[in-house]
A and B are shown apart, each in its own frame.
Chain A
Amino acid sequence: MKVTLSRQCFSAALARTSGIADRKSSMQILSNVLVSTEGDDRVRFAATDLSLSAEGLFPARVDKDGAVTLPARTLHDVVKNMPDGPITLNVDGDAVEVTAGRTRFRLLSLPADDFPTIPDAAEVSFFDVKEKHLAGMIDRCAYSISSDETRPHINGALFQGDGKILRMVTTDGHRLSKVECRVQESGFYNFNMVIPQKGILEIRRLLGDSEDTVSIGSLDGSVFLKRKVEVEKATDDQPAVTADVCLSSKLIETEFPPYDQVIPKQQEKRMIVPRGKLLDALKRVSIVSSDRTLGVKFVLSEGAVEIVTDNPSIGGSSDVVDVSYDGADMEIGFNAKYFIDVLSVLNDEEVAVELSGDLDPAVVKDTAGEFVGVVMPMRI
């Protein structure tokens, strides 16, 4: 095999794939990246940790067909440090020569035949989503994914297509978040999948906040996300060079819990709070809380909520935030971190916080009606 790529292209290819390569795996080949020729003008790069896979087709000059695997990290470092210009990869027995101008590296390879098969996206029926929509949903939901690997059914995000609505729901058993996004584009969604946390985070890495669309689809217990990425910017005499990148993640097979029953339909009390001020107050008072649990009390009275901490070994703190509230006085405890998390993912000036009893769930809603967060109280 002999191929030549521009340094930017080579580097972009590895940046998109080598992150998936599993350096810590006991299978050495999983820390390698697969490089194989595709026709005479493209090279496929692929990496996998067996649950997540990434592959991409990148423009190249193919002088000789073939496939080889190389240590992903080393190769990436080599390419990043090469001088500008074309880089040639030439297979020579067990070793691979990587050359650019007069710079020459010899890297030991492993046979491409040993590389695991990665899920094939060819048969997947994709649908399109604006990347900013998908990114926005993940940004507002990812925080409440359970990181408890012993509870796989919530160790990921529920992602649903329901007619014109895209919906993402996550929970860790103490709080829940749900984002719904009404899409204007033509098309009608009908899908239901649970994407593991790692997959969600990798998908997010592949997304920007533009109007561009990405394609998403599932097949045989895997989700696929496909998009074009720019590897070389357009210049005066040359259009931008792009490549197709596809990320796949195994899906969680177990059913996501029935989230709908958990979200209270009707709450007794409702206050409108300035999001930023409440967030700042919570961050301030929780300085004086060495516990991981960060217990804080919300003391509600007309027009104000007081945030109080009391830590026997450190001291205490309190702060008052003016809110719009005219319900009955009440006290309710929370893990401050849970509230900080939910307030941090929203952008609204004001959010609604709905409460009932001091052992009943609190509901946080944004202005647009897209987001619902549920936070369970803490008995302090």
Chain B
Amino acid sequence: MGKIHVLSRVVADQIAAGEVVERPASVVKELLENSIDAGATSIQVDIDGGGVGRVRVLDNGEGLSAEDAVAAFGRHATSKIADIDDLSRIDSYGFRGEALPSIASVSKIRVDTRTRDQVAGTRLVIEGGDMRETRETGCPTGTDFEVTDLFYNVPARRKFLKQASTEGTHCVEAVIRMALVCPAVGFRILVNGRRVRELPSVDDPLSRVRDLFAAESLAKAEGNEDGVRVQAVLGAPDRARAGAGSLYTYVNGRFVRDRALLRAVTAAFGGTLEQGRYPVGFIRVEVPPAACDVNVHPQKTEVRFADPRTVFRAVTHVIGTMAARSPWTGAISAPVPPADGVREEAMSYASGRSFFSPPASTPIRAPRPFRPDPTTAAPEPSPSTTATGGAPRFPTGVLQGVSAGRFSAMHYIGQGAGTYLLLEDGPDLVIMDQHAAHERVTYENLRAQLQEGRVRSQRLLVPHPVDLGPAEADRIMEFQDDLSRLGLDVERAGADRVAIHGIPAEAAGASPDRLLAEMIIALEQGRDGSRGEGDDRVIATIACHSSVRAGRSMAPREVQALLSLMDGVDFAGHCPHGRPVLARIPWVEIGRRVGRGSP
């Protein structure tokens, strides 16, 4: 007999299974992908004995006909692609057609499934890849997929599994990875019959992330750049975790572990993240299917981008813009309450409503990637342009879930380098940039005044004359009304001269002519945008001029006053130019530096 012979189908499947089905969590992942590809809006996952004993995924998706159900266990049977060209347009999870036969070859499977238009469902029972039973059965629309005794026929593989509790954790993690990217799908997780997670269907990722990280203050960023759509919900950098374990990254709806993406996050946070630490949360990147290759590995946690630099730039920028305004800083370790709607939803589940009743909002068919949609995908502002002289645009809305801070409760230690205020806040040493802090406060005051109508203007005792060329004087007078609305009263005082009669009260100490010059620049830059955008630029300029300069010593009383003012500001984390107002160093870290170790 020749040395070479063809492997039996079962052995071949078992070998393939080694790649696809590494551990029980892989089964969970494959089954969830199928459920979501089937349009399920509610999924229940049961994990018994670390998933080795039993994994059951129950969904309300479209189900399979008897014929399809049987075919699904054939090698490379897939509904998702037909020819190799489709590979470049993959927008569903599974596509290799390897998953089901692989799982089937190393476990015992029972499937009950029914499509909406069938009267009776189908039951399949498969053991070690062999079809044992095919019959009609009564079941609801959807698929109930049960995998028991995983690796019962591959003892070598079974030996390498970790403790049941560890494998169970991995299984739950697999569900969470999926749940984060499919917020419209309700998930319920039971481990050994005990319900461990109930994630109701919600409208947006923020609510889903919030359900999962209830103790974190979270902020959301969204943007679309060069065809790369980025969506992120992230926790505060000062609560970042060692390692990226709690940062869930997705490309085109698939969970991936990509170093470049993590580097982009680090870059976006600038110096605020410690080395090797990542914020908790969720980042979703959408690129056209043709622009990335997810077919690198059967586990599909790796991805290759056609143009990694564009992706890097987009992620860095979108997250960086959010990080720059530091929406977390205000809510110092304050837990974020779930939005009202979410709470209600959760309670209605608890009060016995059927888990499989469809959620109130029409779910999207996850995970269809977002198509670049000009009507909804607002272009992100260009990066902060302080360096190039223009005032950056920054958000004016109050961020969801962020409350005002408690700065005045911090203990003031002293001033350093005439520039930084040192404060103690519970477990942290807080180093605050006095100019940036002040600027932020002034900016918010100005905005409040503007919302009331106009910026308050202090009249000058002696009108301040500004000599200009005639053309320049005309240019300035064009903006007379805008300037007046923004607190600067200017009048013509001759052919090539204007006189400043009043300046914004908040900037009472500023030099009037410099203020005029910079307000004009800001107004001209803002001309193309909306009026609100232009106003924002201008009041940022005013705020900068009116604020305590670095290098000026501040009396403790002044510091207290500043801190109380900061309490009243919506989110005082960054100065209007996007520089962070403060840095936190945990005392523990300082203890480590001086070799004190943990207290």
The 8 Å CB contact of B456, one of A175, A293, A361, is: A293
Instruction: Give the shortest distance, in Å, between B559 (CB) and chain A (any CB).
Output: 14
The reply on A257 being an interface residue by CB < 8 A is yes
Whole-angstrom distance between the alpha carbons of A175 and B462 in the complex?
A: 10
B431-466 CB contact bits vs A (8 Å, 1 = yes)? 000000000001001001001101011111110000
Interface of A is mostly: loop
For B222, list chain A residues within 8 Å (CB): none
Asked if A174 and B506 make an inter-chain contact with CB atoms under 8 angstroms apart, the answer reads no
Interface hit among A75-83, A106-114, A371-379: A371-379
Whole-angstrom distance between the alpha carbons of A174 and B501 in the complex?
A: 11
The 8 Å CB contact of A312, one of B448, B505, B509, B511, is: B448
Residue of B489, B502, B506 ringed by the most chain A CB atoms within 10 A: B502
B485-498 CB contact bits vs A (8 Å, 1 = yes)? 00101000000000
The reply on B332 being an interface residue by CB < 8 A is no
Which residue in chain A gives the minimum CB-CB distance to B453? A380
For A359, list chain B residues within 8 Å (CB): 459, 501-502
For A374, list chain B residues within 8 Å (CB): 461
The reply on A31 being an interface residue by CB < 8 A is no
Interface of B is mostly: mixed
A173-B461, A293-B456, A335-B458 known; A378+B505 contact, CB < 8 A: yes
The 8 Å CB contact of B458, one of A148, A313, A378, is: A378
A171-B461, A379-B489 known; A313+B568 contact, CB < 8 A: yes
The 8 Å CB contact of A313, one of B448, B462, B487, is: B448
The reply on B519 being an interface residue by CB < 8 A is no
Instruction: Give the shortest distance, in Å, between B453 (CB) and chain A (any CB).
Output: 9
Instruction: Give the shortest distance, in Å, between B384 (CB) and chain A (any CB).
Output: 27
The reply on B190 being an interface residue by CB < 8 A is no
The reply on A262 being an interface residue by CB < 8 A is yes
Asked if B459 and A378 make an inter-chain contact with CB atoms under 8 angstroms apart, the answer reads yes
Asked if B448 and A376 make an inter-chain contact with CB atoms under 8 angstroms apart, the answer reads no
Whole-angstrom distance between the alpha carbons of A359 and B456 in the complex?
A: 12
Instruction: Give the shortest distance, in Å, between B98 (CB) and chain A (any CB).
Output: 61
For A261, list chain B residues within 8 Å (CB): 462
The reply on B81 being an interface residue by CB < 8 A is no
For B461, list chain A residues within 8 Å (CB): 171, 173-176, 262, 361, 374, 376
The reply on A150 being an interface residue by CB < 8 A is yes
For B452, list chain A residues within 8 Å (CB): 312
Asked if B448 and A295 make an inter-chain contact with CB atoms under 8 angstroms apart, the answer reads no
A215-266: which residues lie under 8 A (CB-CB) from chain B? Answer: 257, 261-262
The reply on A125 being an interface residue by CB < 8 A is no
B472-528: which residues lie under 8 A (CB-CB) from chain A? Answer: 487, 489, 501-502, 505-506, 508-509, 511
A342-365 CB contact bits vs B (8 Å, 1 = yes)? 000000000000000001010000
The reply on A190 being an interface residue by CB < 8 A is no
Which residue in chain A gives the minimum CB-CB distance to B484? A379
Count of residues in A whose CB is under 8 Å from the partner chain? 29
Whole-angstrom distance between the alpha carbons of A123 and B461 in the complex?
A: 39
The reply on A205 being an interface residue by CB < 8 A is no
For B451, list chain A residues within 8 Å (CB): 312
Which residue in chain B gives the minimum CB-CB distance to A146? B509
For B458, list chain A residues within 8 Å (CB): 174, 293, 335, 376, 378
Asked if A174 and B456 make an inter-chain contact with CB atoms under 8 angstroms apart, the answer reads no
The reply on B565 being an interface residue by CB < 8 A is yes
Which residue in chain A gives the minimum CB-CB distance to B455? A379
The 8 Å CB contact of A376, one of B456, B460, B487, B564, is: B460
Asked if A174 and B508 make an inter-chain contact with CB atoms under 8 angstroms apart, the answer reads yes
A142-173 CB contact bits vs B (8 Å, 1 = yes)? 00000110100000000000000000000101
Instruction: Give the shortest distance, in Å, between A79 (CB) and chain B (any CB).
Output: 28
Asked if B459 and A377 make an inter-chain contact with CB atoms under 8 angstroms apart, the answer reads yes
Asked if A293 and B505 make an inter-chain contact with CB atoms under 8 angstroms apart, the answer reads yes
Whole-angstrom distance between the alpha carbons of A359 and B463 in the complex?
A: 12
For A379, list chain B residues within 8 Å (CB): 454, 456-457, 459, 487, 489, 502
For B501, list chain A residues within 8 Å (CB): 359
Whole-angstrom distance between the alpha carbons of A376 and B512 in the complex?
A: 16
For A150, list chain B residues within 8 Å (CB): 511
A174-B458, A376-B458 known; A290+B506 contact, CB < 8 A: no
A319-342 CB contact bits vs B (8 Å, 1 = yes)? 000000000000001010000000
Asked if B448 and A257 make an inter-chain contact with CB atoms under 8 angstroms apart, the answer reads no
Whole-angstrom distance between the alpha carbons of A173 and B510 in the complex?
A: 11
Instruction: Give the shortest distance, in Å, between A134 (CB) and chain B (any CB).
Output: 25
Whole-angstrom distance between the alpha carbons of A98 and B263 in the complex?
A: 65
Kindly list the 3 A-B residue pairs having the minimum CB-CB distance in the complex, ordered from nearest. A293-B505, A376-B459, A379-B457
B interface residues, Cβ below 8 angstroms from A: 442, 445, 448, 451-452, 454, 456-462, 487, 489, 501-502, 505-506, 508-509, 511, 564-565, 568
A interface residues, Cβ below 8 angstroms from B: 147-148, 150, 171, 173-176, 257, 261-262, 290-293, 295, 312-314, 333, 335, 359, 361, 374, 376-380
A-B contact pairs, 20 of them (CB 8 A): A174-B459, A176-B461, A262-B461, A290-B564, A292-B445, A292-B506, A293-B508, A312-B448, A312-B451, A312-B452, A313-B568, A333-B456, A359-B501, A359-B502, A361-B459, A377-B459, A378-B457, A378-B458, A378-B459, A378-B505
A291-B506, A292-B565, A361-B461 known, 20 other contacts, Cβ within 8 Å: A150-B511, A173-B460, A174-B508, A261-B462, A262-B462, A290-B445, A290-B565, A291-B456, A292-B445, A292-B506, A293-B458, A293-B506, A295-B456, A295-B505, A312-B451, A312-B452, A335-B508, A376-B458, A376-B459, A379-B489
